Structure 1
């Protein structure tokens, strides 16, 4: 009986000290947008890498973290990397206003960049090991971050998004919905899409994040057309052909196709999959080099 009481007590102590999602109340920076920053530091930190996991619309850091279909907590526990979970103060992320579509413009992208800078300093992250992922609105923000803050991001793995700048609001409204883009009617040449990226951070000549783009063929929320437009955008940014250098059917699973466009861009087309493509932890971690 006494042994059982002792075991229960020790279990309670263990639960108290176990790693948990924790809010950072002041992550600094001058961005006007103030999304919340949440951090998960695993009990055993085994690497100096950071993964930023960005939630979809009508969600939050807590909901995304607790979603069993979002595997980044499990990845963090397994491989020992720190994760940052931004939490929007609006229904969806602001990927439409000039403030968020401009380097140091003060919008949501600026705030998340400040979270990354805070995490690098606080958790002793290697600046060359900063990775970003997200689904739907989080995927859109992942693309925007790759365009606005390429100097602090190493690689991106985004699920079911749109090209960077596709959701731009003509009125300048923050977090506006764009039916033309979501419906797949925003079409442009690779050069035009590439110019959108370059225009978000003029005169930047440094390294760009490696991009992994996932999309489902039956996505009725963000048209599958956005997949090809995103590929056009980043092939232009990287200066490579829109024709894959290799194509692997039934990869990473049946009815998926993985296309490589050189070493910096990979597209995964999920035949028969809607919105949004399920996270594939192993493939995203492999793209990040984790």
Structure 2
């Protein structure tokens, strides 16, 4: 066979068998909500970890995966871990209804938990290496998942979100927008926000996921005040002070500040940055221990 012909065949083979985002048609579970589940398994699986990447409003698993600013495909290819990409059936994730704000309540959070359990079994994931990340509405859902399914998640890194339960709708509306919360007017005590988390999975007293949250100081979509409320929430849950145990200026880049509140809570404040805080793959992977 001519060498050029062999080269062409090998190139074709690598294209045909290249890893790609693939839909899972039936991931099981009893949740009434049925968002789509998409999975990316890299060509070389070198890790038994799972990263769940949750998209923002007006997006989808496919769009989020293809977004060059979202680094988790690159991370999966580099470190060899499996990623799951949930895809909402509504404009934004449901972080407002009782069903989604309750453990095994049947809402979107329940469905994503089912995806995690499916992935653990299917891809031989270490249950102690399940990580969740997302931006905007996906960040809100990341917070909700940390509250409703703490037993399934090891650590969270979320960008531009609000405290878990902040979007709660007394009317029971699913995926309802909450102007009071988004506008930074849902101000409460650390104890209140901690109680909100405890109430989503009453009786749970096991290990909780380590929480890392990012927010821009000039966010015009979700008020920067939500950073402070999220900080109150998770420091209360972990029983630590809102005073940092350590603080680093210009980290991970200029005009950012990274504050640690013990080993389990970390806040990253981005001065002059708006709603779309740039993702930092290495920082989030380090938080996850990847």
**Structure 2: where are the runs of 5+ without partners?**
none
Q: What is aligned with 1:224?
A: 224
TM-score, normalised by the number of residues in structure 2: 0.99
- When structure 1 is superposed on structure 2, of 35-44 and 7-16 the one drifting more is 7-16
**Equivalent residue number for residue 181 of structure 1:** 181
Give CA deviations for 1:70-128 in whole Å, capped at 9, x if unaligned.
Answer: 00000000000000000000000000000000000000000000000000000000000
2:164 alignment counterpart? 164
The match for 2:119 is 119
Q: Could you tell me how far apart the structure 2 residues matched to 1:35 and 1:287 are?
A: 27
Deviation >4 Å, runs of 4+: none
- CA apart distance, 1:8: 2.2
1:2 offset after TM fit, Å?
A: 4.2
Matched, 1:129 2:129: yes
Query: What's the CA shift for 1:10?
Result: 1.7
In 2: Cα distance, 1:139 partner to 1:177 partner: 14
> What RMSD, in angstroms, separates the aligned Cα atoms of the two structures?
0.9
Structure 1 unaligned spans of 5+: none
Partner secondary structure for residue 62 of structure 1: helix
Moved more, 205-214 or 1-10: 1-10
SS in 2 for 1:52: strand
Residue number in structure 1 paired with 2:258: 258
Give 1:4 deviation, angstroms.
3.0
Give the Cα–Cα distance (whole angstroms) in 2 for the partners of residues 278 and 57 of structure 1.
Answer: 17
State the distance in 2 between where 1:115 and 1:192 align: 30
Q: Could you say which residue in structure 1 is the equivalent of 2:155?
A: 155
1:164-212 alpha-carbon deviations (Å, 9 max, x no partner): 0001112111000000000000000000000000000001000110000
Cα distance in structure 2, aligned partners of 1:198 and 1:71: 32
- Take 2:3 and 2:66, find their aligned partners in 1: how far apart are those partners? 33
What corresponds to 1:106 in structure 2? 106
- Hey, what's the Cα distance between the residues in 1 that align with 2:228 and 2:245? 16
Q: State the Cα distance separating 1:276 from its structure 2 match.
A: 1.7
CA distance in 1 between counterparts of 2:231 and 2:102 reads 21
Aligned mates of 1:2, 1:62 — CA distance in 2: 39
Is residue 2:73 matched to residue 1:73? yes
In structure 1, distance between residues paired with 2:31 and 2:258? 37
Give distance in 1, aligned partners of 2:198 and 2:3.
65
TM-superposed CA distance for 1:218, in Å, is 0.5
Query: Residue in 2 aligned with 1:8?
Result: 8
- In 2, Cα distance between the equivalents of 1:165 and 1:75? 30
Deviation at 1:147, TM superposition (A): 0.1
Number of aligned residues: 290
Please give the secondary structure, in 1, of the residue aligned with 2:96.
coil
Q: Does residue 24 of the first structure (1) align with residue 24 of the second (2)?
A: yes
Equivalent residue for 1:97? 97
Partner of 2:46 in structure 1? 46
Q: Whole-Å Cα distance in 2 between the matches of residues 247 and 124 of structure 1?
A: 37
